[in-house]
Amino acid sequence: MSEATSQLEQLDLESKSDHSKSDSTSSLSDSTNSQSDSSTLVYSQEPFETFKLRALKLCEAVLGAAASGEVSIERMRGGGFNRVIAVSVAGHEDGNQESVVKQYILRIPRFEIRQIVDDLAPLQLLRQESTIQIPHVVKFDATQSNALEQPYMIMMRISGSPLWPGYPDLSQELKCAIAKDLGAVYLQLHSIRSVTAGRITSLPCPEDPSKDSLRIQPLDRPAATDSTVPYEKGPAAQTVFDTIHAILQHQKDLATAMNPSAASFRIELYDQFLTIASEMDALGILAESGNCLCHRDLEPRNIMAHAQGISGILDWDSAIFAPLVMSCAPPMWLWAWNEEDEEDERLAGDIPSAPESRQLKELFEQAAGPTYLRFAYGAQYRLARTLIHFAIDGIQVAEDLDRADLLQSEWDEVRKLLESAKVAKEDE
């Protein structure tokens, strides 16, 4: 794998940049010069000290007049794809003599490839199909015809604080409320279905943005407007196997078309993944159909909480419709928080030894429902999630090669156990 590793070194470096950070609407302010310089250098973008003047002008024009008050802005730590600015508007509402401060978030895409309308689409879907607390968008502009001279989105700021890094210090009572609330989020995600697996986008209606029509970009087709299909609620048109096979074949075709000799290791890996998919299907693991909404980054940094429990879920930009198993990854941090490293999902099904941890796990499972319990803990479903991740995201960084080797070795062991169990059952 040495040749493959060298070909991925550049992508590997990129993966260690700020791209891994969330565009949290409640991040800490970047107050030091080193932070400011680092962000500006990483993204080769205008320094905040000059950029904020245009941001303030935009906010005064969009928000200040409505509130008849003072507008102030503060830089926040953004993510890999968006600049994030906190906006405060102080003023008097009709019939209220006391000053009222309203909090907003201004998000500006760092790169042209980030499409505002695509970021809005999952939020539009959630408003229509769920009661999950999400950011409320009050204004957006997908053009450069504004004071920023860039596309932007302004949202109401969700109350509370992100669960990272303070979750371990919360009271058991509040952790229990969070566990039940998060289980309820999982249950709703499982209920939001689509005939087609894919990324959520929309067809804008310039006259009335509320009438934008939701569409799905199938995962096995090139990202182009003419390849989207209307969003349709209902049972999946394909089995999980057919969906994964089509996506993997599409990834393999893309690698072959780009540069067959340089991408030979990718082609071999996609062949390996296709074989694993066929073996999983033969054992009935991928026979289930059903595409539900999948957040894909439902981590503590994207979960806001206040004194009563979860106050909102952030960062829906990467949400997709995917096989049910994808929305059943156990949130182990709820009951097995690990300060040093990522939790080991292989241990997710274990019963926690501490009674407080057992209580959190049980409360979450009760709220999350039967779909979660069916697909969360089995080794075969954990490996199916890994396989689907590779199908959707492809091979991006050097660590992916190690993950692919681990997937193959673990699957070989699990497959033998499942085949033995199948033979034993047939002999009964």
Give domain limits for the chain.
Answer: 20-158, 160-428
State whether the Cα torsion 70-78-154-308 is positive or negative: negative
* Residue 294 near residue 353, CB atoms below 8 Å: no
Query: Domain 20-158, what fold?
Result: Phosphorylase Kinase; domain 1 (3.30.200)
Please tell me the predicted confidence (pLDDT) of residue 202. Answer: 87
Put the strands of the sheet holding 320-323 in their side by side order.
193-194, 291-294, 320-323, 198-203, 213-218, 229-230
* Residue 314 near residue 25, CB atoms below 8 Å: yes
Please tell me the predicted confidence (pLDDT) of residue 208. Answer: 61
Please tell me the predicted confidence (pLDDT) of residue 97. Answer: 67
Residue ranges of the chain with pLDDT lower than 50? 1-37, 67
Please tell me the predicted confidence (pLDDT) of residue 387. Answer: 98
140-156 residues labelled b (16+ CB within 10 A) or e (exposed): bbbeeebbbebbbbbbe
Name the residue type at position 250: H
Please tell me the predicted confidence (pLDDT) of residue 35. Answer: 43
Please tell me the predicted confidence (pLDDT) of residue 10. Answer: 37
Tell me the C-alpha to C-alpha distance, in Å, between residue 235 and each of 277, 290, 324.
21, 6, 11
Please tell me the predicted confidence (pLDDT) of residue 276. Answer: 98
Tokens 């072959």, located at residue? 256
* Residue 10 near residue 300, CB atoms below 8 Å: no
Please tell me the predicted confidence (pLDDT) of residue 33. Answer: 38
Global pTM value = 0.87
What does the block give as tokens for 369? 């429902």
* Residue 197 near residue 237, CB atoms below 8 Å: no
- Which distant-in-sequence residues (6+ apart) come within 8 Å of 393 by Cβ? none
78: number of CA atoms within 13 Å, CB side?
22
Please tell me the predicted confidence (pLDDT) of residue 210. Answer: 59
